[in-house]
Structure 1
């Protein structure tokens, strides 16, 4: 290698590393970065996250993770309350299981993830992902019981998406050794 080739090689490698850095690009906020990774759910993700000005102004993945997890905990508790109301008019065992067992787990997973956020980002990431198990299992239980309820399906879909977004966000928090 000639002496002029070495600086050019260093410049090229530096440029490649900068272009592939896992930080939001100029003019893009953390919401958009996370929603971009949500794939087919990108539009719904933006609808959910951009409602809260704090999310749009988040300055780190830790901050937006905390906000998404709080949103998940609130929405899961609200969904559980709605499921318990539906259970009053439709006392199906599948709906009862969704309203109690499955959504108890969802709320607990979001709460646990939020608690682990400052202590262990990897465990917080795992708990955020596990929060999506409740809506998925609820959908399966309803399908097995031949219950079609669009309002429950919508609740499950939104909670599943929030779990996915929390997983994406917490996965971007730098791990400390």
Structure 2
């Protein structure tokens, strides 16, 4: 085999390999594009979504929505569990409201949004957006009680961001 034949064979093989490479390897993933839409929160969005490695591999907007909503529900449950543990150490009516009523609402909103996907995406996006009410109200309740916990504030900010991410993801679904 001479050099020119070998070169053509190598070029052909390279083109075949590149043409079969996954789209995500060539461009950015769906989740990265979505996080880019969160503007100043893009870095935190990417950091948060790394918490579920399946999100980076989402092949469709529908799959991405489901994974984000499941992840958001999981984070809501984890936050609620943390708040309930804090309530045992520092009993407070305001903290109790956060740990029970408000985070029950957060988890319920994400769960409801997940259940509506594909059937009523308008309601699903509304439910995903409403999930932000819990951490917003929790922040106000804790501030009113002069309970300043930076860790709880950070958890609330993450849930707020997940609500916004889920809302944006659902908006991308075809009507």
TM bucket (normalised to shorter chain) is 0.7 to 0.9
1:71: which partner in 2?
71
**TM-score (structure 1 length as normaliser):** 0.82
2:149: which partner in 1?
149
For structure 1, the residue ranges without an aligned partner over 5 or more in a row are: 1-23
Aligned pairs for 1:76-87 (under 5 A) are: 76-87=76-87
Counterpart CA distance in 1 for 2:72 and 2:111 is 9
Once the two structures are superposed, residues 49-97 of structure 1 have per-residue CA deviations (whole angstroms, 9 ceiling, x without a partner) of 1343321111111110100000011110111011000001111111000
CA RMSD of aligned residues (A): 1.3
Q: Which runs of 4+ in 1 moved over 3 A?
A: none
Deviation, 1:34, is 0.7
Counterpart CA distance in 2 for 1:151 and 1:84 is 14
1:3: which partner in 2?
none
Counterpart CA distance in 1 for 2:98 and 2:50 is 28
Deviation, 1:144, is 1.1
Aligned pairs for 1:91-106 (under 5 A) are: 91-106=91-106
**TM-score (structure 2 length as normaliser):** 0.83
Counterpart CA distance in 2 for 1:79 and 1:153 is 11
Question: 3-state DSSP class of the match of 2:174?
Answer: coil
Could you say which structure has the larger radius of gyration?
Answer: 2
2:14: which partner in 1?
none
1:117: which partner in 2?
117
Question: 3-state DSSP class of the match of 1:54?
Answer: helix
